[in-house]
Structure 1
């Protein structure tokens, strides 16, 4: 009986640990994993590359991932609206990539409704040939990236710039009215005090 207790005492925790390891190592199938990309994580491509492709296990129908790219100077690289080619691949036009390490961040909604955000880095090198348009993206009409042309004012979108100007006028106008009112009140008090 003593041997049975000793065996149970040592084997029980070992069985539980193995079960947890096996269950804990199972992938979360509801989430959408990145299968491959062009440019790929850790790859070196030529500066001037202007299209990116992301291929996933499965994209939620009708929902394109959001793609953001940050250049070596820490500034955003303009990215056009991604186009989903099928249930797995998204393509987007980007402004020609500058040389240096670039961070690509993608956000999407997984099949279970959870929002996912992941990022990876690759390098754009001077002298290397720019990556051509990936075959999956070649026949698509990709929206051009917003490069800050006529739709921006002082680095802000036209809507934001208009709101900022209107807010400035409101603050200046309100301050002027308050100063005028204070000045009138002071003159009225001086007149009353002088009488």
Structure 2
């Protein structure tokens, strides 16, 4: 019996150690999960939605969530820089959405430093209920979407088109006009000088 007890004791200790290791290795909700969204996954909303809202667990202070949106036609929809409200709600202005299924992607950093990225879809449809701006996002100064984001290259091209030899078009044209005037003036002076020289030549 004593030998049996001795054998049981290590078995009990081993079981306790395994349980401790299992509990110690289990994550205690380390990652921030999406708790709510407006519009949310699978929702239907009336056209004209211009504010997106994503609610998570506590987010890491000083970090800015990343939110991007792809419209029904597969093109990117401009989204303003998100603002965090109440430490866990990401609010962002968006170009008014058109009917169709849109895909929203996000990346956030939880309070413990873990990064989570995911995506979901919702539908904008005529006749659906109007989505009100979430209370947490009201009163916030949300940066307007940069609608020229896709046209940055065009803007650069336009700026490049307005550049001549590294100068702005206005500066270059002004400089060119000045050069023309100087050259024209120089030509007039040269002609006058030649005429004066011919007038001073001796006859014959």
Q: 1:45-103 CA deviation, whole Å, 9 max, x = no partner?
A: 11111111111111110212110010111111110111111211111110011111111
Q: Aligned match of 1:156 in 132, 153, 158?
A: 153
Report the equivalent of 1:133. Answer: 133
Q: CA deviation at 1:130?
A: 3.1
Report the equivalent of 1:146. Answer: 146
TM-score (norm 2): 0.61
Is 1:43 paired with 2:40?
A: no
Report the equivalent of 2:93. Answer: 93
What CA distance in whole angstroms lies between the structure 2 residues aligned with 1:26 and 1:43?
33
Instruction: Please show how residues 26-37 of structure 1 align to structure 2 within 5 Å.
Output: 26-27=26-27, 29-37=29-37
What CA distance in whole angstroms lies between the structure 2 residues aligned with 1:105 and 1:28?
25
What CA distance in whole angstroms lies between the structure 1 residues aligned with 2:41 and 2:94?
17
What CA distance in whole angstroms lies between the structure 2 residues aligned with 1:163 and 1:116?
39
What secondary structure is seen at the aligned counterpart in 2 of 1:34? coil
Structure 1 stretches lacking a partner, 5+ long: 5-14, 170-195
Q: CA deviation at 1:139?
A: 1.1
Q: CA deviation at 1:28?
A: 5.1
What CA distance in whole angstroms lies between the structure 1 residues aligned with 2:137 and 2:30?
26
The CA RMSD over aligned residues, in Å, is 3.3
Contact 1:47-1:129 within 8 A present in 2 as well: no
Alpha carbons of structure 1 residues 152 and 39: separation in structure 2 relative to 1, 3 Å: closer
What secondary structure is seen at the aligned counterpart in 1 of 2:35? strand
Q: CA deviation at 1:26?
A: 4.9
Q: 1:139-158 CA deviation, whole Å, 9 max, x = no partner?
A: 1111111112xx764x6374
What CA distance in whole angstroms lies between the structure 2 residues aligned with 1:152 and 1:69?
13
Contact 2:80-2:146 within 8 A present in 1 as well: yes
Larger radius of gyration, structure 1 or 2?
2
Structure 2 stretches lacking a partner, 5+ long: 5-14, 166-204
Report the equivalent of 2:113. Answer: 113
Q: CA deviation at 1:112?
A: 3.9
TM-score (norm 1): 0.64
